[in-house]
Structure 1
């Protein structure tokens, strides 16, 4: 493959992932806050049901993707905790759309590297260093400034969004500890096949207590009118996003996804202000820009660590080859 073809392919996967990701975020915001369906639990359960069904067909019926043959004991021990955290993260993140603007939610996501680092230090997957910790403090200060300048600051929405990020960071660490470290790496279809049903069951418990009575009352009164085409399109977009992530990381790299994610966040901030008329203050932008610079510095730090490890591994392999020759 020529250099030109590689560049075109990389940009194609980047644009595809960014487009689908932004479409899902804006679509969810519109359904929950403007369409007349303010039920984040029901919407998240619908996504999980759709993803579980499609993954089941692909794995069990069409056999496009193979299952990894996990026992019921391993499923309960490794997948169910991840599904529980995933359910909480999705529920709370969708709930935050009822109170906060898309732009401010994207700004708070700058805290994710710090939360992952903190949880990683607790679980022993990350090494505590003063330099990285200071970097995370700068990110937190930037997000705090952005929050202080938020014109539509709603405390319950902020608590839900921050809780969602905390659950997601914990989930990522558990995936690393319970799945990847055991050699059970999964592609997105396999992940949906195993995790989505557990997530659906975990969501059904609070759904029956919180949203089912409200939805039933509106159905009986005839005030709840939802187009099946809109809901089907929303679920398909959520499923397509998982495939786009797999293609982007598999065909390029995780670093490319991180860089594209930074650009996507800025575009979403602009789109939120344009489409939903969400006000963005100067203090918002100043705080997020500070957090953005700190996140870029942290990503560069991780990249240098990765290169150092690759050089060390290459050197060890070279020295091992020389010993074998001797």
Structure 2
């Protein structure tokens, strides 16, 4: 046991142990700019640090190095000279909560608890901060516009315009997603290119692509028979199907409160169905099937691409799923929608606007996925979930104003109950984490 020890060295050692326990993916290096000050720089491995946290811990050090001290670990050797102040500079990402930093407080020696001072410095200037806000608002507006736009345009083409070929329309969507995804990733470099590493991974992506195209086809078929407002009400039950598939496939159980919140989700759709003036049995079945397929894809994606080596971001996954969906949809469209190509060409000769409708609609379908990815990247998944709940309500109001479809009070009450259940479900999930 040593009778004397270098307090500055001990405190630095404690600080590094604390940082290691809280930030397992951080690396650090130690530099000494002046004799009287030791600095520990802890750098995040992320490529875009946005915040800087400075922790100042004034301490008292002996004037001369003690004759005996605790041997320095390999990381800290050679021994660091005495200092008057230790500055810990952490480069943090926005996603890091300051609560984690405050947890350092009880772990430091009692003598120094009162002397800690946290100083948060935003490295961005006010003008940059304002421009970032405008950029985020612009992204959210683009996401809303593309989501609601593709939904309304699908309804217009399949129902009002008379283009009764939902499988061919979905095929156009998937072609656009395949081509534009490749351009965005390979040329524009929206995200880094991720490659498929094995045949097994390709088969997993193919199965996801098949389910993905089933969900899109089912949704487009339902729009031919159902009003957009009722379509959105049924689509809002996705959390119910997600919870069911998660339990059946992974035996994952949620808290009892989460299951309780699913009751108004389902009850609302039942009420809305009874009060829907333009209810259509086949359209309803297709819409429920599309919603279930969307939930199944979400659960399967978490199971099949769970390992770190196989995980793909949503843009790369879309780029690989698109061609798979095209491979499934092309023969299905040619077989089930007889002479659809010839009919489309004939329509284009009579009215060239159908070509522009299809091109614009297909591009918009891709931008739904692109803006969805960018909004998640620049905000959070929770923000996207909240915005998604509001988006459904906005789409219902806009569709009623445009298409003038009859809506009953019972139907609106049912839809409101479903949306309320979805919001409660989101809150219950958040509390269980």
- Same-fold status (TM-score > 0.5): yes
**Structure 1 CA distance, aligned partners of 2:380 and 2:220?**
28
Q: Does 1:155 align with 2:281?
A: yes
User: Residue 318 of structure 2 is aligned with which of 174, 180, 192?
Assistant: 192
**Shift, 1:258, TM fit:** 1.3
Query: Which residue does 2:231 correspond to in 1?
Result: 105
From 241, 244, 248, give the equivalent of 1:122: 248
Change in Cα spacing, 1:148 to 1:190, as seen in structure 2 (3 Å) is: same
Report Cα offsets for 1:259-301 as digits up to 9, x if no partner. Answer: 1112211111111111001111100111111122211111111
Change in CA separation of 1:76 and 1:184 when aligned onto 2, cut-off 3 Å: closer
Q: Which whole-Å CA distance do the structure 2 matches of 1:224 and 1:134 have between them?
A: 55
The answer to whether structure 1 residue 290 and structure 2 residue 420 are counterparts is no
Compared with structure 1, are the counterparts of its residues 67 and 7 closer, same or farther at alpha carbon in structure 2 (3 Å cutoff)?
closer
Q: Is the 8 A contact 1:96 1:158 kept in 2?
A: yes
Structure with greater proportional strand content:
2
Residue number among 270, 278, 295 corresponding to 2:397 in the alignment? 270
Cα shift readout 1:114-149 (whole Å, capped 9, x = no counterpart): 111111111217314443222212210111101110
Greater share of residues in helix = 1
Gaps of 5+ in 2: 1-123
> What SS does structure 2 have at the residue aligned with 1:67?
coil
By how many angstroms is 1:157 displaced? 0.3
Report if the CA contact (8 A) 2:212-2:294 is conserved.
yes
Q: Distance in 2 between matches of 1:132 and 1:215?
A: 47
Q: In the alignment, is residue 255 of structure 1 matched against residue 382 of structure 2?
A: yes
CA shift, 1:224, in A, is 6.9
- Larger Rg, first or second structure (1 or 2): 2
> 1:63 Cα shift?
6.2
CA distance in 1, matches of 2:139, 2:185: 24
Unaligned stretches of 5+ residues in structure 1: 307-326
Out of 149, 152, 155, the position equivalent to 1:29 is: 155
In structure 2, the CA distance between the partners of 1:219 and 1:232, relative to structure 1 (3 Å rule), is closer
Matched positions, count: 306
Specify which of 213, 235, 242 is matched with residue 369 of structure 2.
242
Secondary structure of 1:170's match? helix
TM-score by length of 1: 0.85
Aligned equivalents of 2:183, 2:131: Cα separation in 1:
34
Once the two structures are overlaid, the 10-residue window that deviates more, 251-260 or 180-189, is 180-189
**Structure 1 residues 230 and 236 mapped into 2: Cα distance closer, same or farther (>3 Å)?**
same
Q: What residue is the counterpart of 1:314 in the other structure?
A: none
Q: CA RMSD in A?
A: 2.4
CA contact under 8 A between 1:68 and 1:184: conserved in structure 2? no
Q: 2:370 is paired with a residue of what secondary structure?
A: helix
Which shows bigger deviation, 83-92 or 63-72? 63-72
CA distance in 2, matches of 1:222, 1:183: 46
Q: Flag the structure with more relative contact order, 1 or 2, with Cα contacts below 8 A and sequence separation at least 6.
A: 1
Kindly state the Cα deviation for residue 76 of structure 1 after the two structures are TM-superposed: 3.7
> Shift of residue 160 of structure 1?
0.3
